[in-house]
Amino acid sequence: MNAYTQLKHLGFSKSGFWTPYEDKPKIHSTKKVVAYYLPQFHTIPENDLHWGKGFTEWRNVSRSLPIFEGHYQPRYPSDLGYYDLTTPGVIEQQAALARNYGIHGWAMYYYWFDSQKLLSKPIEIIYKNPEIDINYCVFWANENWTRSWDGQSSNVIISQKHSPEDDIRFIAEVSKYFSDPRYIKYQGQPVLIIYRPNLFPSILHTVERWKNWCSIHNIPLPYLINSEVFNSDLPKNIGFDASAEFPIHASRSFNQENLRQITGEFNLYDSQRSFKCLTYESCVDAWSTNEKIASDQKLFKCVFPDWDNSSRRFDIESTIIYGSTPSLYEKWLSFCIKNAEQDDFIFINAWNEWAEGAYLEPDLFHGHAYLEATWRAIHLNEKNGG
């Protein structure tokens, strides 16, 4: 079954297919939209060893099958195809797409395990090629690397070992990016995002070491942001400057009562697969609040265009968010931009998380629709003086 036949079988019309994009007017917004960026689209020896030779995230994406009638799987990339991030010109094309639609930059997942770096080629390509027009910052995914893709303590491929010595080695390594004019800053400070600060033996001591090291070496102190995942603490309690939502993980401004589960409402193709399904519209309602985590705590909002990790979690329970449309996504993003303060970030999960169904990059069905919605949300806010 070819791509068009598969999509038609799922009820999609040909009108949704890819069309070339047009250059957009430049947007100079004081509120910066930043997308999370996954670098796992090139081969590394560690993945070859544990997943088979030649593994990249595309293997998960391409093997996926629909679980129920109307389930949009597999996903097919359009403009860039099944790219290799180390191929010359690919990251330049991604950057051009992102900037064309008003995206300020990428928060790039950074994999560091006690001085061992994995999947670092994409950020190094950007760092070493100043002509690539994209802003970026480090987002340390500081948990175990596991076969179940959940960072927990079972099925560990590479464990995370935090230590005082590694704290120094880490900040010494990533601080080289801080001087890049494209490095994302908040009120002059280079942004450093940590996924799970609670995994450090003492995050307060780690922050103190980082700040002391930066001060000694005359390097700007990083603006520290933690992700709101797995019962994370308030930023003030751990020496951080702000938190950022990370849906589909719950956050403190999240209203779980608004979620609507529809897992049992489908005609199944595969009754052996374990999954739960929520409506996208209810997710928009659940996260579209403007509550503050506390009067003296900074919280950056985050949205996702879609979510479906069934292609990655093939043998364990997956979560599928059903019913996303560009217009609902635009509504959610517009709300977050409108209610953000000047100079704030609004994060998007994600630029290219294809195996989680969370991507802005064009696919064969939607084309540039989610990128267009992103541009409209940013442009209309700027036009209305937001």
- What CATH number is attached to the domain comprising 30? 3.20.20.80
Structural domain of residue 74, as residue ranges? 3-383
> Mean per-residue pLDDT for 342-369?
96
What confidence tier does 294 reach under pLDDT thresholds 50, 70, 90? low
Task: With CA atoms as reference, report the closest residue to 365 among 306, 313, 310.
Answer: 306
pLDDT greater than 70 at residue 291: no
Number of Cβ within 10 Å of residue 157's Cβ equals 15
pLDDT greater than 50 at residue 1: no
**188-192, 313-317, 359-363: the lowest-pLDDT one:** 313-317
Residue 161 burial by Cβ neighbours in a 10 Å radius (0-12, 13-18, 19+): exposed
pLDDT greater than 90 at residue 94: yes
Composition of the chain by helix, strand, coil, percent to 5? 35, 20, 45
Q: What average pLDDT does the chain have? A: 90
Where do we find the tokens 């690919």? Answer: 90
What confidence tier does 151 reach under pLDDT thresholds 50, 70, 90? very low
pLDDT greater than 60 at residue 6: no
- Per the structure, how many domains does the chain have? 1
Looking at residue 12, its pLDDT comes to: 44
Looking at residue 258, its pLDDT comes to: 82
Looking at residue 11, its pLDDT comes to: 43
Task: With CA atoms as reference, report the closest residue to 338 among 283, 289, 282.
Answer: 289
What confidence tier does 154 reach under pLDDT thresholds 50, 70, 90? low
Residues 6+ apart with CB under 8 A from 23: 100
Task: List residues bridging with 244 in a β-sheet.
Answer: 227, 300
Contact call for residues 242 and 300 (beta carbons, < 8 A) = yes
pLDDT greater than 90 at residue 357: yes
**26-30, 131-135, 161-165, 318-322: the lowest-pLDDT one:** 26-30
Number of Cβ within 10 Å of residue 146's Cβ equals 16
**pLDDT digit string, tens, across residues 242-280:** 999 999 887 666 677 788 999 999 999 999 999 999 999
**pLDDT digit string, tens, across residues 316-325:** 899 999 999 9
pLDDT greater than 50 at residue 16: no
Residue type, 225: I
> In terms of DSSP H, where are the helices of 21-149?
45-51, 57-63, 90-100, 121-128
Looking at residue 29, its pLDDT comes to: 85
Contact call for residues 86 and 121 (beta carbons, < 8 A) = yes
